[in-house]
Amino acid sequence: MPIENSGDSELCLFIEPYCEDYWMKPGEALTVRSEAEGVDVWFDTYISKGCVIVWLYEDGDPYKIVGDYVVVDASGTRLDSGHQRPRGQRWSAGGPIID
């Protein structure tokens, strides 16, 4: 699932239920994909101010969460959680606080 930040400020890609965050600068694109073989992955996507929240489910079943996934940049480089996280980023139980 490709995600592109076409806005003019940073955008957080937040993967649930693992609370992993990946930050995109304007114009950047990231891709979320499953690494599991033979699994039909469905993506549930929620949008809030400055944040795209993604859940990965096997066969669309919300009780079968896909845990074997990867986030890559436009060149295919695998990224770690916290990629480009803004210094001093604040958090709540629901994810990053975007002012």
Q: State pLDDT tens for residues 50-71.
A: 999 999 999 889 899 998 999 9
Report yes or no: 33 and 6 within 8 Å, Cβ to Cβ. Answer: no
pLDDT surpassing 80 at residue 82: yes
pTM: 0.90
Residue 9 has pLDDT above 80, yes or no: yes
Confidence of residue 4 (pLDDT cuts 50, 70, 90): very high
Provide the b/e sequence for 77-99 (b: ≥16 CB within 10 Å): eebeeebeeeeeeeeeeebbeee
* Domain ranges, ordered by start, for the chain: 2-80
The residue type found at 66 is V
Residue 37 has pLDDT above 90, yes or no: no
Instruction: Please list the alpha-helical segments (H only) found in the chain.
Output: none
